[in-house]
Structure 1
Amino acid sequence: MSHKPYDDIPGTTIFDPDMAFKGYHLNQFALSLMKAENREQFKVNERAYLDTWAMTEEQKQAVLARDYNWMMRLGGNVYFLAKIFSTDGLSFQVAAASMTGMTQEDYAQMMLDGGRSPEGNLYKKEQA
């Protein structure tokens, strides 16, 4: 992958064409969870169901760990990954809070207060 102008934004994974290519099979797996029979098969034996997909081992481990930030770094699109946390009975807000390391309550309050402050979070080079 070539250098991109947004590579210097801290804590941000941009879903661009390179990431779409990288995460294709991960996202297709997640999309498969829209069907009840696939969700049930996944719940019965997650590893066996994951092994039916041409995902990398690292992608499978990220799913098993339910580490959504890791999945996004491996090409997962949060809107497809929503199928995984929905399968687990989690709301988007709970999953988003887990991605920030915050409790659901603290995350909800932060969003009600206008989101994160951009102060000190504009570019990685500013954090040095």
Structure 2
Amino acid sequence: MPHHKEPIPGTVMFDGTQAMKGYALNKMCYSFNNKENREEFLADEEAYMDKYGLNDQQKQAVRDKVVLDLIAAGGNIYYLAKFAGIYGLNVQDVGAQQTGMSVEEFKEKLRRAGE
């Protein structure tokens, strides 16, 4: 399997460094598999972030609910999907954020690609 040493413009590569950086954030997002944990988070987001030891960058990204900022803070998209689901964001919402498009523009792009 080829290994790309050249970065892909605009893409944060999730590698070992990012995994270590995002450990607390991803661990918190994984906890959202449990309904009680989602409810605890929504009741007091700041306390819940402190419980998992998120750093300032991660906390701000969670507060802002911007997926690209969460990825830059070490978030893995598979764990972040749990976080997005709490706020009713679906894959198209996340894709729109990642591409800088509106949700409708992103949906139209998907429709055109499927033709």
Q: Equivalences for 1:1-128 in 2 at 5 Å?
A: 5-7=5-7, 9-114=8-113
Q: Percent identity?
A: 39
Aligned CA-pair RMSD: 1.6
- Partner Cα distance (2:110, 2:75) in 1: 23
For residue 51 of structure 2, give the secondary structure of its aligned residue in structure 1: coil
- Distance in 2 between residues matched to 1:34 and 1:64, nearest whole Å: 20
Unaligned runs of 5+ in 1: 116-128
User: Which structure's CA Rg is the greater one?
Assistant: 1
> Unaligned stretches of 5+ in structure 2?
none
Normalised TM-score (structure 2): 0.88
Runs of 4 or more above 3 Å deviation: none
Q: Deviations over 1:20-49 (max 9, x none)?
A: 111111100111111100000111111111
What is the CA deviation profile of residues 52-103 of structure 1, one whole-angstrom value per residue up to 9, with x for unaligned ones?
0122111111111111101111111111101111011111111221222211
Q: Report the number of matched residues.
A: 111
Q: Looking at secondary structure, tell me which structure has more helix per residue.
A: 2
Q: Give the TM-score of the pair, scaled to structure 1.
A: 0.80
